[in-house]
Chains A and B, each alone.
Chain A
Amino acid sequence: MSHKKARPDTLLNMAGILIAVAVVSGVALAYVHSATASICLAAESAKKIESAKKILPDFDNKPSDKMRRFLVDANDNIKEIDPESSLDDKSKECLCEYFPATKGGVPVGAAITTFTNKGYSGHFVLMVGIGADGKVTEVSVIDHKETPGLGAQMVEDPFRTQFKGRVGGKPFVVKQDGGDVQAITGATISSRAFCDALNRAYKVFAEASK
């Protein structure tokens, strides 16, 4: 094996190689980013439609056609916005989307994307299906950064499925706080946050049904 000597440590050499490597990786990353950005977006919206299909009762319209968007601030003030408007990152964090479902023209419920900022790692996003009778049909987790194996268990049974068929008139509260929701062992914070997101969905549901 030939042992070529490394370049001498002159300032020009050092700065040159660092800048060259940084620029090359920057360009390469920009390329990968632009190539994956559209796939990311498509996957995200496909996931929403897919989740909406799963969590709603039988329906025959296209829920995304009549989608409505609401911004919910820290004090739970709800403001409806134009569904087509573009949003910055800050407002995306407090966005709830409302997908109404009908069967033969009769409303059968809605799928609502909702969020919480009280998770163990802050923000996460759920989608809740609410029937016309106000009962939870199903909940699915769209996006979260909770601890793998602990808070992340909210994706699985039996935690997530316990909400099925419950009426969301009064807020969901975990047992530790005097409610009746069975929290995930070792992940009370995530469980509380999950309830917080569900309660927000019901506020949006009430606002949208006005």
Chain B
Amino acid sequence: MKLYEFFTKGLIKENIIFGMVLGLCPTLATTTSAKNGINMGIAMVIVMVGSNFFISLIRHMVPSKVRIPVYIVIIAAFTTIIELLMKAYTPDIYAQLGIYIPLIVANCVPLVSAESSAAKYPPLPSILSGAGTGVGVILAFAVLGGVRELLGNGTLYEIRVLPQNLKTFMIFVMPPGAFICLGFLVAGFAKVRDRIYPKKAA
């Protein structure tokens, strides 16, 4: 695998949110607007890049039976760092995302990223892979958040797109709309992905 592929595969080919349908708690909960979704995605990228780097550094020292607990501690440490930094420097964003920041640690995404790349490859590819997966997450959150914000509130990244007096569907900002939007986006995503990366005939 070429070095750049570690980054690019996470974007669309193996997009962890729409493609693998993992890490759903923040996907559904924090995408009430494009801005919230992107902020959440950025927090997750930082956690993944940091934890992938350290896990990759110590990958030969970890006996395989305790590998998952060790990875979880490292991911938890980075999650705490992000939480403390956000509390100090961006308290407003932290207040918006609330409990879903500490829950990054219980999310499958960083752990899957650690298992599939950091546990096997040297630091540089691991970082790239973490960043790629993370940017894939940001893209997915931005699309889902954007669609929900547009349909539910008539705005896109807090800029009014639809006319003020047009009735919008509040339901899309609420929990049911999250599920329904995600359902259609997952189906649409599969179509787009298969067009870009056609499946080889078996």
Contact = CB atoms under 8 A, between A and B. Distances in A.
A32 interface: yes
Contact of A43 (B58, B74, B91): B91
A60 B131 CA distance: 51
B115 to A, nearest CB: 13
B96 A152 contact: yes
B97 A6 contact: no
Contacts of B29: 147-148
Contact of B73 (A22, A143, A152): A22
Interface residues of B, number: 39
B62 interface: yes
Nearest to B125: A1
B63 A9 contact: yes
A79 interface: no
Interface in B2-22: none
Interface string A2-38: 0010111110011001100110010011001100100
B201 interface: no
Contacts, number: 100
Interface residues of A, number: 36
Contact of B173 (A39, A43, A149): A149
Interface string B44-72: 00000000000000111111111101100
A39 B84 CA distance: 10
Interface of B is mostly: helix
Interface stretch (B75-83, B159-167, B191-199): B75-83
A121 interface: yes
Contacts of B30: 148
B95 A143 contact: yes
B74 A21 contact: yes
A185 interface: yes
Contacts of A146: 98
A40 B87 contact: yes
Contact of B70 (A17, A36, A150): A17
B88 A7 contact: no
10 pairs of A and B residues whose beta carbons are closest in the complex: A149-B32, A25-B77, A36-B88, A39-B88, A14-B66, A145-B98, A9-B63, A9-B65, A36-B84, A13-B63
Interface of B: 29-30, 32-33, 36, 58-67, 69-70, 73-74, 76-77, 80-81, 84-85, 87-89, 91, 95-99, 121-122, 170, 173-174
Interface of A: 1, 4, 6-10, 13-14, 17-18, 21-22, 25, 28-29, 32-33, 36, 39-40, 43-44, 47, 121, 143-150, 152, 185-186
